[in-house]
Amino acid sequence: MATLQLQDILFSQGFGTRRVCAGLIQQGFVAVAGAICAQPATEFIADGSQFTVQGVDWQYYEKAYLMLHKPAGYECSQKPSTYPSIYTLLPAPIRQRGGGAAAGVQAVGRLDQDTTGLLVLSDDGKFIHRMSSPKHHVPKVYEVTTKHAVDDKQIQKLLAGVVLDDDPKAVRAATCVQTGLNQLSLTLTEGKYHQVKRMLAAVSNRVEGLHRSRIGGLRLPADLLPGQWCWLSETDLTSIHS
């Protein structure tokens, strides 16, 4: 298994420049497997490394795959225009992973500032491309609260396909289930700008609340509260495409 110098491990995980990482180590702020290491060039097997930086426990991940429960009032942008960025909800080392021009994790797709729910983030470019590509048709499930009561005619139109104002090709819901008088569970396999809101407007209704509960087979856990995040396991990653 490959070994890396401790300063390079910290650098790859987003703890600052190599000089900053070396300084943290030399000042005794870094422990590996519970033991302080003050030599930046000391080599460790990176995979599976457990280390502590300034009292906070971390684990080495070659690539980051995260789940975030997006709260309302946040923008999915590194440079938000009006509301806070979702990236401020993540620890600085995760936001700065890699250290290059495109450092840090990126959201796989976006949610509007007033939309809540499941976001997947990663610094794996191939994974992001695969997840975002319309060729793969990864289903996404949205819980929709509407202004007006939902009727069967609206549901049938959403399933058959509606035409949005900027695209002559009809878009349709893969599934559409009424879960309350003013509530729908809607599954989409493609992503367009404000798609759910525009689809509901096309059937003479209006979205009052929107929450994404699932991507593929990955569900937002009930105990992951708004604003909280967690690492995705191998099982979680596999479930996205199941």
Helix/strand/coil for 158: helix
Instruction: Mention every residue, 6+ apart, whose C-beta is less than 8 A from residue 135.
Output: none
Distance, in Å, from the CA atom of 2 to the CA atom of 9, rounded to the nearest integer, reads 12
Hey, what are 148's tokens? Answer: 């007006």
Q: Let me know the angle formed at the C-alpha of 111 by 239 and 151, rounded to the nearest 5 degrees.
A: 85
- Cα(49)–Cα(69) distance, rounded to whole angstroms? 27
Tokens representing residue 9 in the block: 């491990």
Known catalytic residue: 165? no
Quote the CA–CA distance of 33 and 37 in Å, as a whole number: 10
What single DSSP character describes residue 25? H
CB 98 within 8 A of CB 147: no
Catalytic residue among 112, 151, 165, 167: 112
Q: Which residues are catalytic?
A: 112
